[in-house]
Amino acid sequence: MNNKIEGIEEILRKEILCHGAISLADYMKICLTHHKHGYYIRNNPIGVTGDFTTSPEISQMFGELIGLWIGQTWIDHGKPRKFSLVELGPGNGTLMADILRVTKRVEGLHSALDITLIEISPSLQEVQKEILKDFPVKWKAKIENLPKQTTIVIANEFFDALPIKQYRRKSGQWMEVMVTLKDLKNLTPKEFCFQLMKTDERILADLNIQEGCTVEISTVMRDIIYYLSNHIQENSGAALIIDYGKEGNVGNTLQAVSQHMYSNPLTSPGQKDLTSFVDFKAIKTFAEETGAVVPNLTNQGDFLRSLGIEQRAEKLSQGLTSSALKLHKSGLARLINKDAMGNLFKVLGIRNENSPPLIGLEI
């Protein structure tokens, strides 16, 4: 265990000592997805025994309603005889398993299905293989070369895990937030720290940002949105993105989570989840540049309510008693209440310009 921990710290230390401070995006990329020691590569972080819990792990209703959304979207696209269902970052595969259980009831849908999971972690791919063993599923580590057919994409808590760069306005100039080592003059500097470094003023020239403010930019997110929006424009289809975030990129939203608690992002690199708030305004802008249509951002509570989660909860509660009923009710509350995930989590749709309006978002 210790060797592995030293592994990623050593990689970062060497990189900084040889080449100087690294960008926050490079730090996040190495910590999260380094091919041997990265957080997602080594761990299964999701669930009660992991570092964080996601909506599909809270209640089966989440996946059931996303399944309903997919079923209706497929019907609204004229029930194509073949279509791609693509999930970005499927974690334990729970969401896809719940989706497939309910969509079985939509006549013709399963025989049209062509499932691709985009997952960078070989160990999580194994977990997904087990839970989805009854279905013909393909895996890719990166979103590319999707088949040229109608495509429905879903992503829950995927975009928050992508590397971001941060820039800060200081003394009228733009500085980039870099990661370096404290006490570099020391022979064996150990602790990581942030450092502001002058950056090309033009990068951020358009932003009218006040002194001291931070802005966040994810080029990885931009490239994924360009790819999937172009793909949807060329082949028809839609995407559903669910995550915590806001409309804009001003503010320092970097966070580290370990065992369900907030933590310091610069200590024990590779051992904790690093995330940031998703910039839904940027996603909308990039998607619209391809000609795709992006309806107004909705929150998770309103989205799930409009798909009928309360009726579904009522139905499911009929067969439950005592502690199971209590758990079921608290699961519903966590998913939709404003003071839980209902408002913090947002839902953004992207669709082909000629596609019909999306349920739960436009109708």
Cβ proximity to ligand SAH: between 70 and 95 the closer is 95
The residue from 12, 21, 31, 46 that contacts ligand SAH (CB under 6 A) is 46
Determine, following the binding rule CB under 6 A, whether residue 233 of this chain makes contact with ligand SAH. Answer: no
Cβ proximity to ligand SAH: between 181 and 254 the closer is 254
Q: What phi, psi does 294 have (nearest 5°)?
A: -125, 100
Determine, following the binding rule CB under 6 A, whether residue 64 of this chain makes contact with ligand SAH. Answer: no
**Residue 224 Cβ vs ligand SAH, minimum distance, rounded to whole Å:** 9
221: nearest Cα among 151, 176, 279: 279
Cβ proximity to ligand SAH: between 118 and 215 the closer is 118
The answer to whether the CB of 5 falls within 8 A of the CB of 267 is no
Determine, following the binding rule CB under 6 A, whether residue 119 of this chain makes contact with ligand SAH. Answer: yes
**Residue 323 Cβ vs ligand SAH, minimum distance, rounded to whole Å:** 24
Q: What is the 3-state secondary structure (H, E, C) of the chain?
A: CHHHHHHHHHHHHHHHHHHCCEEHHHHHHHHHHCCCCCHHHHCCCECCCCCECCHHHHCHHHHHHHHHHHHHHHHHCCCCCCEEEEEECCCCCHHHHHHHHHHCCCCCHHHHEEEEEECCCHHHHHHHHHHCCCCCEEEECCCCCCCCCCEEEEEECCHHHCCCEEEEEECCEEEEEEEEECCCCCCCCCCEEEEEEECCHHHHCCCCCCCCCEEEECHHHHHHHHHHHHHHHHHCEEEEEEEEEECCCECCCCEEEECCEEECCCCCCCCCEEECCEEHHHHHHHHHHCCCECCCCEEHHHHHHHCCHHHHHHHHHCCCCHHHHHHHHHHHHHHHCCCCHHHHEEEEEEECCCCCCCCCCCC
Cβ proximity to ligand SAH: between 140 and 281 the closer is 140
The residue from 11, 120, 196, 209 that contacts ligand SAH (CB under 6 A) is 120
Residue whose Cβ sits closest to ligand SAH = 89
The residue from 54, 73, 151, 290 that contacts ligand SAH (CB under 6 A) is 54
Using CB under 6 A as the binding rule, the residues of this chain from 133 to 192 that contact ligand SAH are 156-158, 161
Determine, following the binding rule CB under 6 A, whether residue 40 of this chain makes contact with ligand SAH. Answer: yes
Determine, following the binding rule CB under 6 A, whether residue 121 of this chain makes contact with ligand SAH. Answer: yes
d(CA 248, CA 265): 22
Cβ proximity to ligand SAH: between 91 and 265 the closer is 91
**Residue 144 Cβ vs ligand SAH, minimum distance, rounded to whole Å:** 11
Cβ proximity to ligand SAH: between 155 and 215 the closer is 155
**Residue 31 Cβ vs ligand SAH, minimum distance, rounded to whole Å:** 11
Binding map of ligand SAH across residues 66-95, x = CB under 6 A, - = no contact: -----------------------xxx---x
**Residue 276 Cβ vs ligand SAH, minimum distance, rounded to whole Å:** 13
53-61, 191-199, 231-239, 257-265 -> range binding ligand SAH (CB under 6 A): 53-61
Residues lying near ligand SAH in the complex (CB under 6 A)? 33, 40, 46, 54, 56-57, 89-91, 95, 118-121, 124, 156-158, 161
